[in-house]
Every structure is written in C-alpha cells, then in structure tokens.
Homo-oligomer: A and B are copies of this chain.
Amino acid sequence: MDASGERRYPIEVLQEFSRRVFEHFGVPGEDARLASEVLAASDLRGIDSHGVARLHTYFDMLELGRINPRPELRVVRETAATATVDGDNGLGLVVGPKANRIAMDKARECGSGQVAVRNTNHFGIAGYYVLEALKEDLIGWAMTNSTKLVAPLWGAERMLGTNPIAMAFPGLEEPPVVVDMATSACAYGKVEMARRRGEPIPRGWAIDAEGRDTTDPEAMIEGGALLPLGSWRELGGHKGYGLAVLVDMLTAVLSGANWGPWAPPFALRQEIPARSVGKGIGHFFGALRIDGFLDPEEFKRQVDDWIRSFRATRPQPGTGGPLIPGDPEREAEAERRREGVPLVPAVVEELLDIARRTGIPFEA
C-alpha cells in the first residue's frame, strides 16, 4: 500500500473477478468474458473511472433488474454499409462490442460499415472499440451519448452527456495514434476528485446551478454543469458544444435512443428524466477498410513518418514537447501490466462489498 492508500492488483485478478460477477447475474459466459475485457481495457489504459471502479454500478443495475443480462441483439434496419441495432437493454459492455463487430463486418464486405445502436447502456471506454478495429486493418470510430452533465454554451443547465469520440490509426513500426476524448472541457471524475481533496477546480471546467462560472467542485456537483470543450464563446465553447451535439445526433437521434437531457441515468442516485423519447442510450460505430483508400502498408509508413515528424516538434518552454495521441494510455498500460492496477481504498471497499454479497472471493 502506498501513501494514498492505493494498492495494486494484477489485471488478471480484476478481470476474472468482474467476469465472475457478470456471470453471477446470469450473463452468458462469452458475454461475461467480453464485458470484463472492456472493463480491463479501461483499467489498463489508466481511465480509472471507467474500469472496475464502475463495477458496483453495473452490479446495482443488474441486481435491480434494470439491465438485461441476456440481451438478444436485433438489427432493426439495414443496408449493405449501415445498420441500426437494438441492444435489448443489455450491458453496453456486451452490446457495444457486438455492434462494433457488425460495423467491422460491413466494412470488410463493402469498404465501410456504420452502425447506430439504441436500447443500450454505458459501453466503457470508446478507445476499446477502435483498438479492436485496428486488429483488422480498419480505421474505426466509436461514440456514445450518456447521462446529462454538460451545459450547451450559454445554457445554465445540464442538457448533454460528456459524449466521447474515439478514432485510431495504425503505424507500421510506431504504435498507433489513438484519439479518445470526451467533448466536455474536463471529465466529471476530476471534479469529484477535487471535491474529495477539498481543492478548487480551474475556471472553465464548470458552472454552478445559476449558470455562473465556478471554481467550487461542490457547486458543479450540486446542480451545476460541466462546460463544453472550449469553455466560453471567446475560446470556442460553441465548438465543444457542436461536437457534443454531433455525437448526440449520431448515437441517439439516428438510432432511436433517448437523446440530450433525456438519456437515462447510469448510477442509481442520478435523477430519472421526466421524458422518454427513445430506448436506452445510444452508440455509434464506424469502420473503414484502409485498403479501400490506400495500400495499408503505405498508409502505415506515412503514419510512422507523421509520428516522427510530430515528435520532432520544437517544444513549448517548460514542456517535453507534444505527445502523440494515445501515448499516455499506452504508457499506463505498459506500467500497469508490469506493476498492477492501482485501486484507491473506496474502490477496494466496493469490490469487497460485491464479494460479500455474491460469495465471489476477492482478496483486498
């Protein structure tokens, strides 16, 4: 245990535990494996808020029967290169990979596959899906909408989720370029962390319940909202808002899911929306066959050249120079595979609670 009370756990231990928890609720073996793999990808890549730290929420939802452990995915509309999938209110961690598979299969058949998904739940990290596409020489994109947390520019209330976008591009000798980003100025997890530590948050992250800029994490959490990327009009807040809109349209409006402020909550203590305008939340997956555009080896060689050119950028004073998108997550993964995944005591407590209530062993 280190000074912050963190302990490290081998990823295999965490993944096996979550797999067994999903199975405990009747999730079929292969689906439970898939779901635990998506969670593990998040823990490995350092996106702590989306890994086993969320397992207790999945546990709650499954225990209360709010998520269907045995969904039957249904393609409700289809063309050669597109589809809408109904996720039958399954775990997003299961529906997501299967819908992404449909997008990839369509890409293999006709060059590009675009799949909108409704009636689903949180799907983990968007980056997982585009890394799956890379394994088959496909450029993938993945997006999801989510429970409202973000105000549109000039709005004083939560209307949009943090609506992430991910896309990845393979190198030949270099590791892939992986963009995986929420469209808000910062992650909600960072505001929660500041509150726990009793620290202020930077101006530009959030507004309070009256819509005024705030540096008090409590004021954001209690009825305030996150700001879109760009924060204010002057720094391009309308652009971050526009990106969140684009994600909401593709994932939720186009699929027939609940959009905007009506996206259903993920955690139990979140407010239930007053309206239902569709089914569940929505995802969107796209895949492009690289050889539908360029020789894949030539493409990867250019990506290598691109990466090396950007690594050679003259650095801003006081920095080590630009990173390549995906660098921090890849470094986290290497370190965590070696040293284990650090969990804070609160998360360990949650896992122990699940262990007590399910009888699945977990060693703190």
Contacts and interface: CB of A to CB of B under 8 A. Distances in A.
A79 B113 CA distance: 12
A17 interface: no
A259 interface: yes
A241 interface: yes
Interface stretch (A20-28, A50-58, A305-313, A356-364): A305-313
A271 to B, nearest CB: 15
Interface in A268-313: 277-278, 288-294, 298-299, 302-303, 305-306, 309-310, 313
Interface in A305-340: 305-306, 309-310, 313-317, 319-323, 325
Contacts of A153: 322-323
A323 B169 contact: no
Interface string A236-267: 10111111011011100111100111100000
Contacts of A79: 110-112, 289, 292
Nearest to A262: B309
Interface in A178-222: 179, 181-186, 202, 204-205, 207, 210-212
A235 B204 contact: yes
A200 to B, nearest CB: 12
Given A294-B77, A314-B155, A302 B82 contact: no
Contacts of A112: 79, 81-82, 112-114
A156 interface: yes
Interface residues of A, number: 94
Given A114-B288, A253-B302, A259-B306, A315 B80 contact: no
A211 B316 contact: yes
How many copies the complex holds: the figure is 2
A246 to B, nearest CB: 5
B157 A81 contact: no
Nearest to A181: B239
A351 interface: no
A22 B27 CA distance: 64
A124 interface: no
A185 B237 CA distance: 9
A62 interface: no
B77 A322 contact: no
Interface string A131-168: 00000000100000000000111111101000000010
Contacts of A179: 242-243, 245-246
A333 to B, nearest CB: 18
Nearest to A202: B234
Contacts of A151: 313, 316
B82 A235 contact: no
A259 B302 contact: yes
A343 interface: no
Residue of A112, A154, A179 with highest tally of chain B CB at under 10 A: A112
Most buried by B among A262, A278, A291, A309: A309
A120 interface: no
Given A114-B112, A116-B293, A309-B260, A315 B245 contact: no
Nearest to A169: B249
A230 interface: yes
